[in-house]
Amino acid sequence: MPSKKNPLNLNPLQLKTLTLLQAIATLPDAKPGEDEDSVLLTSLPDPHGDHFHLGDAIVAAKDATGLRNPAVWAALERKGLVKTQFPQSATLLAAGRDYDTGLKDAILHRAGH
């Protein structure tokens, strides 16, 4: 039987936030975390206008409201996906890094040039 999509029942805001944390973890300034296969994220993007840049992608600010929401971070931590030091940093755990949110292509917009 195929695995259940969204097995932790994350809500849409939690899924978007986790997708963004996964993308931030691939940027050059991400550092290895203390836990095995974890990534320490110390710089969160600040929107300018209605969007922000995340590596080679553009993200609509409306898709990133969870990055500044302590309740979202707490939920992701309760579900074992991150360790939070809100609002300074987060450690994306291996479970969070590998969780398939299904939103990567929907919120990380890449130009064709």
- Number of separate domains in the chain: 1
> Which of these, 1, 31, 10, lies nearest to 100 by C-alpha position?
10
Q: Is residue 23 part of a domain?
A: yes
Q: What is the pLDDT of residues 84-109, one digit of tens each?
A: 988 888 999 999 999 999 999 999 99
Q: Which pair of structure tokens corresponds to residue 6?
A: 């969204």
What's the pTM value of the predicted model, to 2 decimals? 0.92
Question: What are the distances in angstroms from CA 39 to CA 44, 66, 92, 112?
Answer: 13, 19, 5, 29
Q: Is residue 2 part of a domain?
A: no
Residue range(s) defining the domain that contains residue 31: 12-101
Q: Is residue 111 part of a domain?
A: no
Q: What is the length of the chain?
A: 113
Q: Is residue 45 part of a domain?
A: yes
CATH number at residue 91: 1.10.10
Block residue for tokens 């296969």:
37
Q: What is the pLDDT of residues 11-63, one digit of tens each?
A: 999 999 999 999 999 998 889 999 999 999 988 888 888 999 998 999 999 99
